[in-house]
Amino acid sequence: MRSKYIIIGGSAGSFQAITKILSELPKNYNIPIFLCLHRLKHVRTGFVEALSIKSKLPIIEPKDKEMIKNGRIYLAPANYHMYFELGNYFSLSTEESVNHSRPSIDLSFLSAAQVFKNNLIGIILSGANRDGALGMKEVKDYGGITIAQDPEECQVKTMTTAAIKATTIDHVFIVDEIINYMKNLQ
Amino acid sequence: MFEIVKNITFTEYKEIINIIKTTYNVDFVNYATASLKRRVERVYNLYNFKNVEEMLAKIKADEEFFDAFLKETSVPTTEMFRDPQMWIDLKEKVLSKISPRSEYKIWVPEITTDEELFTLLIVLYEMQILGLTKIYASTNIQQNIEKIKTGVLDIKKMETNSANYTRHNGDYQLSKYFDLEEKRAIFDQVLLSKVEFKFNNFFDINHIDSGFNLILFRNRMLYYNPNLQNKALDIVYNSLQLNGHLIIGINETMDGSVHQTKYSLISKTENIFKKIR
């Protein structure tokens, strides 16, 4: 079986969902997970530490051109877009903000879709803008699996409903179902 | 509104890169694909090309368009005083120690937009060492030089710029250095006149200058693949004086490069390096 990759996008109201997901994943979870979460541009530190509290897996902000390794969780660093290259490594970018965001969920999802194609699972969580909707469409168009957090469960449902409108969503899940799905991928 | 343009396949992208190489001897082969491909698609969209052939023909036949193409594919430098702590460390750990008796040569290679340069000028001015310094900024994109020389910034960017200026503990208000209009902020032309612009290709070894005390090279290598990053590191290493300083972006790295051992780290979090051998 080809190796899988999971990319998760989230904004306002996604922190709780993310920490719950991270706390439930076992220590030997092997699939690389990319987190693209809206965050303050000028605050570089603290986010990884906050996410790490409940995670059994190491969380890393990748450096430019860092190799992607299994069993790690990667968080898009503040004030950079996070891209993926053929050859299994990251590229960072300081291109213009998209949807007022850098990192942009759309750009990360688009890049991941082009590189990982049908080996990619795209997950969109709670958020207050439309970032990620087009990215989810790209994941779907390139043959990946799309999952949206159930808008009814989201603290702010703008982001998930935008994604649901933009493309075919394979699964609309509450967080517990997302966790089960992720665990069963191994 | 952000739109995804998906008209260019990897094969077509490679074709475009090859045409540019053979026509203008500008080598994008070793650029990081993810961002450059997206930026090429951006140009494609901006000029409403109907197909890739049309774009290829225009690149080949129209040198002026090619300069515009380079400008649009180059990545701007986001904000003034980006990573304020870097500017604090630069002041405290490097610039406060320079000799008042000799000229201090600074190079900003691969410059695309004005923010980094304006920031540098303000820092040197506030430290009262601008008179000691000689600043060179280089690029192979004529339109970017022309744009920087106007000193014009979008007024919308000034909020972030001012906040960063304050975070770096500036002596005044950032507005001191600008004429503020309704939509534009125009940078102090006297300060700007301290910069010598050089129009050349960074990777063309015939143009390489040397003897620099400081090279400000932040977030430029992001757009290169690892091979080209090594080449860029060769160039800056050879251009730098012994004991001179090199600054790269906070998420860039020299790990795995032969140059890693030739520098000592002056600021670990801000990636300020000193050439020691």
Report chain B residues whose CB lies below 8 A from the CB of A106.
2, 4
| pLDDT reported for residue B81 | 97
Distance CA A163, CA B166 (A): 38
| pLDDT reported for residue B94 | 98
| pLDDT reported for residue B8 | 86
C-alpha A128: how far from chain center: 16
10 Å CB burial of residue B156 (0-12, 13-18, 19+) is: exposed
Q: CB–CB of B222 and A42 under 8 A?
A: no
CB B70 within 8 A of CB B26: yes
B200 phi and psi angles, rounded to 5 deg = -160, 170
CB A123 within 8 A of CB A178: yes
A32 has a chain B CB within 8 A of its CB: no
Nearest to B35 among A42, A61, A95 (CB): A95
A14 phi and psi angles, rounded to 5 deg = -95, -10
Q: Which architecture does CATH list for A5-184?
A: 3-Layer(aba) Sandwich (3.40)
Token pair 């982001």: residue: A159
Size of interface A-B (CB pairs under 8 A): 82
**Active-site residue numbers of A?**
11, 38, 131
Which pLDDT tens digit goes with each residue over A96-118?
998 889 999 999 999 999 999 99
Nearest to A93 among B35, B82, B83 (CB): B35
Report chain B residues whose CB lies below 8 A from the CB of A114.
34
The CATH number for B84-275, chosen from 3.40.50.300, 3.40.50.2020, 3.40.50.150, 3.90.660.10, is: 3.40.50.150
Domain ranges of chain B: 10-73, 84-275
Which pLDDT tens digit goes with each residue over A151-164?
999 999 999 999 99
Using a pLDDT cut of 90, give the percent of chain B over it: 86
Report chain A residues whose CB lies below 8 A from the CB of B221.
64
Report chain A residues whose CB lies below 8 A from the CB of B83.
44
The pTM of this model reads 0.94
A86 has a chain B CB within 8 A of its CB: yes
Q: Which three-class secondary structure state does DSSP give residue B183? A: coil
Judge whether residue B205 has pLDDT over 90: no
Nearest to residue A186, comparing CAs of A18, A71, A52?
A71
Which pLDDT tens digit goes with each residue over B44-80?
999 999 999 999 999 999 999 999 999 999 998 789 9
Which 8-state DSSP code applies to residue B91?
A: I
Judge whether residue B1 has pLDDT over 60: no
Domain ranges of chain A: 5-184
Mean pLDDT of B109-114: 92
Strand partners of residue A36: A9
Cβ atoms within 10 Å of A172's Cβ, excluding its own: 17
**C-alpha dihedral (A166, A171, A174, A180), degrees to nearest 10:** -140
Distance CA B186, CA B85 (A): 25
* Cis peptide bond prior to A26, omega within 30° of 0: no
Mean model confidence pLDDT for chain B: 93
Distance CA B222, CA B76 (A): 12
CA distance B78 to chain A (A): 7
| pLDDT reported for residue B96 | 97
